[in-house]
Structures are given as C-alpha cells and as structure tokens.
Amino acid sequence: MEYRTLGGTGTIVSSLCLGTMTFGNESSEEVSHAQLDRFLEQGGTFIDTANVYSRGVSEEIIGRWLANRPDVRDQVVLATKGRFAMGDGHNDVGLSRTNLTKALDASLKRLQVDTVDLYQAHAWDALTPLEETLRFFDDAVRAGKIRYAGVSNFLGWQLQKAAMLTGYLGLTPIVTLQPQYNLLVREIEFELVDVCENENIGILPWSPLAGGWLTGKYQRNQTPTGASRLGDDPQRGMEAYAPRNAQERTWQVIDAVGKIAESRGVSMRGAGRAGVDSGPAGRHLGDPRRSYDRAARRQPDGRRAASFRRRNETAGRRERTDRWRLPVRATGSAAARFRSRTLTAKSSGAMPELFTQLPRYDVVRVQQRLRHLVAGRVGGRQPQRHRQARPLVDDQAEPLPVRQRGKRDRAPGFPTVVRNRCGDSGDRRTAGAGHLVCPQLERAPPPGAVTV
C-alpha cells in the first residue's frame, strides 16, 4: 500500500480509499464489516461515506464497526458528505447552514464519533451562496466537529471560486475534490486538474472502474441481471446501462483495456485501476514528496535531507507564484501536457499505453481556448499590442499652450487629454514632446489640449 498526504495538508492517508456506498444495500452489515477488516489488514487507512448512502445505514454500519474496535479510530481517516435530502422539509436539502448543521450532527451521531476528519459538500447548490457554505466549514473546524473541508462533483469555475473565496476571506481552505474519473469519464482533465494543481487541492476519484464497466462483466446489447449494481437496477444513476451501451466509444475503451490487460497478464480490473493511477488524478491525491521528506530527515545522510529540503522550498516558491494565476495555464496544448504527466506518473501499476491506445476526446476546443488566452482575447477584447499603432506627427512642432486644471487634478499645468476614437487615451505626453494626431477624430479638441 502506498501513502500520500491528504491534499495540501499534513495528514497521511493510503493511496486507496474504501468507498462505502454499497453498505446497507448490496452489502449486508456482516459483509461490510468483513470488507472493512480486510481493507485495514492490507494497510488501508482512508474510508469515505455519506449521509445519503442507504439513507444513513452506511454510516451506522461504520459507526458500529468503530465502536467494536476502539483502537481503530486513531488509525483511519474518516470522510463523509452532506448536501442531498434526508427529509421532506424545505431545509432538509442543500448546502445552507441550516441543513449542513443538522446533517453534520446526525452523521456524527450515526458514526459514533466526535470529529470527522474530512467533511465534503456532496454537490453544488445553486440556491445557497457559496460564502455561506464556506463559513459553515470554517465554523465547524473551529468547533472541533471536522478537521478538513472538501467538495465533490464541482465544476472548474465552482472549485476555483471556492478556493479564491477561502483565501480572500481567510477561511478554512478546500483540501480535496471528489469527482468521477475513470477511463470512460475523463472530462476533469480539461480544467479541474489544472485548478487542483494551482490551488494545491487533492483529487479523490470516485467510480474508478466506471461502476463495473471496466471489469468486463457487461456485454454489448445485453441488459445486466443478477447480483450487481446494474443487475439490481439497470438505470442506476450516472452508470446506467442504456446510455453507455449506446455509445460506440464505451466498447472501444473496454476492448482496448481488455487487450492491454491480456498482454500484461493482469485482470481488466487491475488495468482499469492502473488507468486512474497513470492519469493526472493519480498524481494529485496529495504530495508523496512531503511524506518522503519526513523519512529523509531521519536519515543520517545530511546531503539527502538537504536535497529533499531544497526541493520542497522550490515547490513552495512555485506554489506561491502560481496561486493567483489562471486555472487553465496558457502553455502548450492540453494533450501534450497530459501525455507528459502520464509518462512521468510514479505508480507501481501505471500503464502509459492505456492513454496511447484509447480513443481520445477532441481537444480542438481546448487548444483554441488556450490560444485565445495566449493572445489575450478573453471576452472578445483584443490585447494592447494588437491595436493599430498611433503615429507621431510633427515631433518638432512648437509647444502648445497648457490649460490649467482644477484643484482636484493631480498637478497644476498637466495637459488635458482627449480620448479619440481609434483607441484608448494611450500615453500621456507633455506639450513640449510633440503631439499625437488621430485621423478618425471627428470633434476638434478644446483650446490648449494635447490630442492623443
């Protein structure tokens, strides 16, 4: 088992997180406890649940498991979520302070703990001001009910807004994002990965095997049956059978994963998980260098400790420099940047060929946006350097009279500037340095004015 930091925090978690959405539904309490015990034996320390999973039964199962093992609570990092309806009232849903207060208290009671390590907004709420949600997270941290705050299923601009608001208001930062990511759903590569990299936010991909699609157990044009997620409900959520079965790309990806798994001598499940490890999300759960640095300081070799320390200082300077940059960096194409990340991913199960043989998304739109960012054409405005040059005329002309300005002006005797119609006011020049003439100026300037 590998270990990493939880986003930009100092908390160490296992690189694999046990999702518990099936607890209380497909998995009975006995089976769920056996899965938790097995996960702990293999070195796992990260458990994720939500209040809406089986209408709270999942949290209750985990709570009884923790109560029967008092020494386990300090070994695991426990995460849960709140946002979706747990009642019929108008305020029993959403990210408002009213609902989140009740949801968090109820989750703590079901889990039989005093503090949750990571509390996440399960999805975006358009009706609640984002600042209200972020202030609730900050108050919950100060009250000792949660240690860190995270979000799930946010879009790029939503995550960027949350990160910038927490920095501007001095609130508890967002440390993790939990999006859907697998070899069938890769939209986060366009913007969300760049936001997480700039804001030092860890990525916790959910559904890494696409709800069982990447295991090879589903067949084309054959509705699933039996004891499985889609066997119980073929139209279940975002993993429903009919929409994905209708896409040719789905079966192209599944066929490619099957061929690669066969050539490597591994299962399709292992190849599908390696696709997530090899992608950009595999590098942004946290910073493995920080945990390695702690071990390096304990080594007697001072040179190695100094090397890690210098590397950390360089990363810190880069982080401070990039903090307020655009969420999408205008350097190179998205495809080239993603290929470099894939080939340099340090993971024992990484398979770079997954991304060279799988059908890619069309990145033309992303490349066009990057070119516009480079050219400065944001919002349809052209940058300063693309405007028509304003030539100087008659530099040797005698100085023009200067009209005195009012007491509210910056300085007496500063020349009056007239804005013309071929651009902005441009450089303000004194009367003795010549004057600028615009052929499109329709109105004569006032006496004593310098025309630019």
Radius of gyration (C-alpha) of the chain in whole angstroms:
29
Residue after which a domain boundary falls, among 145, 178, 211: 178
Number of compact structural domains in the chain: 2
pTM: 0.66
Which of 391, 399, 397 shows the shortest CA–CA distance to 436?
Answer: 391
Note whether residue 140 is domain-resident. yes
Residue 226 covered by a domain: no
CB atoms < 10 A from the CB of 313, how many? Answer: 10
Q: Quick check: is 414 in a domain?
A: yes
Tens of pLDDT along the chain (452 residues) come to 899 999 999 999 999 999 999 999 889 999 999 999 999 999 999 999 999 999 999 999 999 999 999 999 999 999 999 999 999 999 999 999 999 999 999 999 999 999 999 999 999 999 999 999 999 999 999 999 999 999 999 999 999 999 999 999 999 999 999 999 999 999 999 999 999 999 999 999 999 999 889 998 888 888 878 767 777 777 777 778 888 889 999 999 999 999 999 999 999 999 998 888 877 666 555 555 444 344 444 444 444 444 444 444 544 444 443 433 333 333 333 433 333 333 333 333 455 555 555 554 444 555 555 566 555 544 444 444 444 444 444 555 555 555 444 444 444 444 444 444 444 444 443 334 444 444 444 445 556 555 44
**Domain span at 393:** 388-452
> Do the domain assignments include residue 325?
no
- Tell me which of 141, 160, 178 is where a domain ends: 178
Residue 75, CA atoms < 13 Å, CB-side half-sphere: 14
**What's the CA gap between 138 and 166, in Å, rounded?**
9
| CA gap 184, 279 in Å, rounded | 12
Could you tell me if residue 69 is inside a domain? yes
CATH of the domain at 51: 3.20.20.100
Catalytic residue among 3, 53, 148, 361, which?
A: 53
Residue 45 lies in a domain: yes
Last-in-domain residue among 161, 178, 195: 178
Q: Catalytic site residue 148?
A: no
List Cβ neighbours of 449 (8 Å cut-off, separation of 6 or more).
400, 403, 415, 416, 417, 418
With respect to residue 254, please indicate whether it lies within any of the assigned structural domains.
Answer: no
- 349 found inside a domain: no
